[in-house]
Chain A
Amino acid sequence: MKNVLNINYERFKLKNNLDVVLYKDESLPIVAVNLWYKVGSANEKPGKTGLAHLFEHMMFQGSEHVPKEMHFRYIQEAGGTLNGSTSIDRTNYYESVPKTALEMVLWLESDRMGFFLPALTQEKLDNQKGVVANERRQNYENQPYGLAWEKLFAALYPPEYPYYWPTIGWMQDIQSYTLEDVRNFFETFYSPQNASLVIGGNFDPAEAKELVESYFAEIPNNAKVPALNVPFPVLNETKKIIHEDNVQLPRIYLAWISDKLYGPDDAALDILSDILTGTKSSRIYKSLLFDKQIAQDVNSFQYSARLNGSFIISSTPKPGIELHTIREEIFKQIQGVVENGVTEEELKRSVNSFKSSYIYSLQNLNNLVDQINNYTCHLDEPNSFLYDIGRYEAVTTEDVVNAAEKYLNTNFVELNIVPKK
C-alpha cells in the first residue's frame, strides 16, 4: 500500500518562476492540468469582497487569442472536462482531457495567464456580475441555512481580518466591481511567480516540458505580490447570534478559532472531530442521535486554512427540542473528552479511516493532481502523501485530549438559525 502513495515526479521552475510539477500515470489515456494561483478571498479588501471569485469567472470569458465561449467549447470538443474554484486561500483551474489535447490546454491556460487583459470588456463583466449574483442567490440565499457560514465567520473574526467575509462576497460588493478592479486584480495576483502548474497522467515528460517552456516562459512577472501579514486571530469573548431563516427546524452552530492547515495540532483536531461526530458510535452522534434521540443530525469539521483554522460543530434538533438542550449535551461530551480522554480503539478506528480515504482519493486524476498542487503550494513538496498520512499516524490519545482542551475550552461563537415567526 505504501508504494501507491509514494509518487514519482519531476519539478522545475521556469525563468519567470512558474513552479511546474510533472507526474506520470499511464493507467488511462487522460492527462490532467491543474493550475493554482496563490490568491483567494483572503487577499481582497473590504468593500470589494468576492472579487477573487468573480475574477475566476472572468478567466473563462476568453483571452486575446480565445474568443468568448470558446475556452469551454474547445475543451469540451476535445472530450475534456474543466472548471475552476475559489477558496479563501487560492484559486484553481483544472482540465482533464484525452492525452492528445495536452498542447491545447497549455495554450488556453497560458493565454489567460499572459494575455487576459486585451479581451476584457464591460459587457463580459456585467454579464458575469449577473451570473455571480445568481450564484450567490442559488447557493446561499435560497438555500435553507445557506447564510450560516458567513454569519459565523463574520462573528468569529474582526471586520478587517481576511477570513471575515465569504468567498462569494457580499451582494452589494458583487454589484460594485468595475473594469478597473478586475484589471488591478489581474495585475497584482495573476503572475507566473504566484502560480503553480501540475500536469498529471498520460503524457511524455520531455515533450510536456518543452510545451510548458514554449507557452509559459515568455509571460512576464508583474510587480511583487503583496504579502498577507496578519497576527493569529483571537476571539476576546464568547458571542451568541440569532438569525431568522425560512426553515422548519432551528439549527445550532458552534465555532472556535483553531490551528491552521498542516499546523502542529491540525491532524489531532481532524481526529477529534471524527471521534466527536464522525461515526455512529462517535461521542456526540451517539448521545444525540442514538441514546437520547433528540437531534436529526450532527456534524463537525476542523476547517483548516493557511492563516488559521476554525473548528465547527452544527446540529439540528428533532421537532420540539430546544437548541440549548443540544448545546448542553455537546459541551458535556467535549468535557468528557477533556476529563476522561479517548480510547486507543477510537483513535485507531479514526486513523484507519483517514488512511484508507487517501487511497480512495487516488482514483480520480483531477483530485490527485489537485492534492499534489496543494502539497506543492503549502509544503513545498509534491510527494507528501506519506508525510500527510504520517501526521495522523503520529497522533496520540493525549494529543487529541490536549487539542480539545486547548481549542474548545475557550471563547466561541454560537449561532442559532431559527424559523421565521
Chain B
Amino acid sequence: MIIDRTKRPEEKGQIKFKLPEIQRFELKNGLKVIFVEKNNLPIVQMLLYVNDGSKSDPKGKKGLAFLTSLLMDEGAGNLDALQLDDEIESLGSILRCSSNQDYSTISMLTLTENFVRSLELFSMVVSSPLFSEKDFIREKKKQLTKIIQLQDDPEFIANTAFRKILFKETPYESPVMGYRPEVENINLDDVKNFYDKIYTVKNSTLIVVGNITQSELEKRLNNILGNWNNQNEYKTGLPDFQKPQKRFYFVHKEGSAQSELRIGTTSGVRNAPDFYAKTLMNSILGGQFSSRINLNLREDKGFTYGAHSSFSYNRKGSSFVVSTGVESAHTAESVTEIFKEFEGIKKFIKPEELDFSKSYLIKRYPSMFETYTQIAGNLSLLPQFDLPDNYFNTYIEKLERVTLDEVLESARKTLNENNMVTVIVGDEQIIDSQFNESAGEIIKLSSGDVLSEKVI
C-alpha cells in the first residue's frame, strides 16, 4: 500500500450506530422505570434518580441533603452499617449515594450473577435506611471536618464564591456541603424528615442498564422494590435568577502557587430551543482543547495547564463560566484575554470553526453511550430536565441545523460584559502590582467569608 504522508487520510466508510432502545414501565407501587438492555458484559447498573437535593435544605440547616446521603448507606433493613458494607463487598458490587443541588442518587453496579441479592440490598437502602443515632453522630462529624478541610482547596473556594455571588438569594447560593454552624444544628429528626419528604416513589425514577431481560427485570423489581411505599408528594417553588452586575472579587489565599479564575454569568434553562446554539458557541469559545480560550492561554501564552468554559444547568436556569488556574504573575493579563475572547466571539465566528465543533460533537456521539454507567447517566437527563424520550434521537439533527447567526446570537446573549462576575483566588500581593484603577472596584473577601453563611 502506497501512502502519502503529506495528506491527512480520508475517513473511510460509514458509521452505523443504533442508539440504545429505551423501555419504560411502572412498578406496582407506581415507581417509574427507564430500562435499556445491554448484553456485551455480565453487568447490571441501577440508578435511582431522586428529584431533589440541597436546594430544598431548610433555612438554617444547609448541608442536610448531603448529610442524608452520607447516612443512606450506613445500614438498612436488618443490617447495620458494617454488615451492609461487608455483604456488598463480598458480592463485588459497588453502592454509591450522593446528593447535589438539584437531585440525589443511589446507584449500584453489580455482576449479573449477583443481581438479585444486590437488588435486595439496594432496595433496603432505598426504602429502609437505618438512620441510627450512633451513625448520625459519626457522619455529621465527618461532614463538619470535611468543611474545615475544604478551606485548603482553592478550586472549591473559587467555585463556591462564584455560585454564592451568581445565585444570591436563591436556594442555589449555598454549597451542597453546607456551612459549619448550620450543619451543627442538624439533628437526626431533620434527616428522617428530609428523607421522608424527598426520597419518595413519586419523586423518583429508577434507571436500569444491563444484562437482563425486561420481563425478568420487571418481575424482580416488582417483588423487591415494588414494596417501597412512601407516596408523599410535595412541590417546591423557586425564585427566578437575576442577571448579576459586573463585579470583581478577590479572595486572598496565602502562599498560592497560582491564581484560580472564574468568570461568568447566569443563563437560561436546559430544555430551551437555544440549547444547541449555546452548546456550539461554548465549544468554539472554551468547551474543548482546541477552543479559542485554551489555545490562547495555554498553547500560545503558556500561562496555564488548561482553560475551559462550560454551561452548567439546574432546574431553574444555568451558569456559564470560564475556569482556569493561571500563573500568578499573569493573572491580570489572563483576565484581560478572557474578556477579549468574549468580545471576539460576539463579533466573528468562522464557518470552519462552526463546522469543526459540529463535527466534533456529532461524530463523538456514539462514544457517549459506551459504558453501562455512562448510559445510565445519560438517561438520568430525561427526568432531570423533563426531556422527551426522543431527545437522544434528535440530538444530532438539532445540532446540525444550528446556523452561524444563531451561534453568534447566543454569544451576544450570554457574554454581556455588564453581567460578568469575576472571582480570583490567589495571593493578594499580585493585586497592587497587576490591577490598576481601570480594572474598577475590587471587592476583597476572605475564604472565611466564602465558606460561611455570611452574605457576600
Contacts and interface: CB of A to CB of B under 8 A. Distances in A.
Given A318-B141, A364-B370, A290 B148 contact: no
Given A30-B370, A131-B304, A359 B90 contact: no
Nearest to A295: B145
B257 A141 contact: yes
A248 B152 contact: yes
Contact of B90 (A65, A102, A349, A420): A349
A104 B5 contact: no
A142 B111 contact: no
Nearest to A251: B149
Interface in B294-346: 295, 298-305, 325-327
Contacts of A4: 41-42
Contacts of A144: 149, 152-153
B288 interface: yes
Contact of B14 (A100, A247, A348, A363): A100
B399 to A, nearest CB: 12
Contacts of A141: 257-258
B113 A99 contact: no
Contacts of A214: 1-3
Contacts of B113: 1
A279 B86 contact: yes
Contact of B82 (A28, A98, A130, A286): A286
Interface in B264-308: 288-290, 295, 298-305
Interface centre among A128, A246, A286 (most CB of B within 10 A): A246
Given A73-B356, A127-B300, A131-B304, A28 B366 contact: yes
**Closest CB pairs A-B (n = 7):** A79-B363, A130-B302, A356-B92, A144-B152, A141-B257, A363-B371, A79-B364
Interface of A: 1, 4, 27-30, 64-65, 68-69, 72-74, 76-81, 96, 98-104, 107, 111, 115, 126-135, 137-139, 141-144, 210-211, 213-215, 246-249, 278-281, 286, 289-290, 293, 296, 316, 318-319, 345, 348-350, 352-353, 355-357, 359-360, 362-365, 420
Given A30-B370, A139-B305, 9 more contacts: A69-B299, A76-B356, A100-B13, A101-B11, A128-B302, A248-B148, A345-B90, A348-B90, A353-B92
Interface of B: 1-3, 5-6, 8-17, 40-43, 81-82, 85-86, 89-94, 109-111, 113, 138, 141-142, 145-146, 148-149, 151-154, 253-258, 288-290, 295, 298-305, 325-327, 356, 359-360, 362-367, 369-373
27 contacts: A1-B113, A4-B42, A28-B17, A29-B366, A64-B5, A69-B299, A73-B290, A78-B11, A98-B11, A100-B14, A104-B8, A107-B8, A126-B302, A129-B302, A130-B301, A131-B305, A132-B305, A134-B302, A134-B304, A139-B305, A143-B153, A280-B86, A319-B148, A349-B89, A353-B92, A356-B111, A363-B370
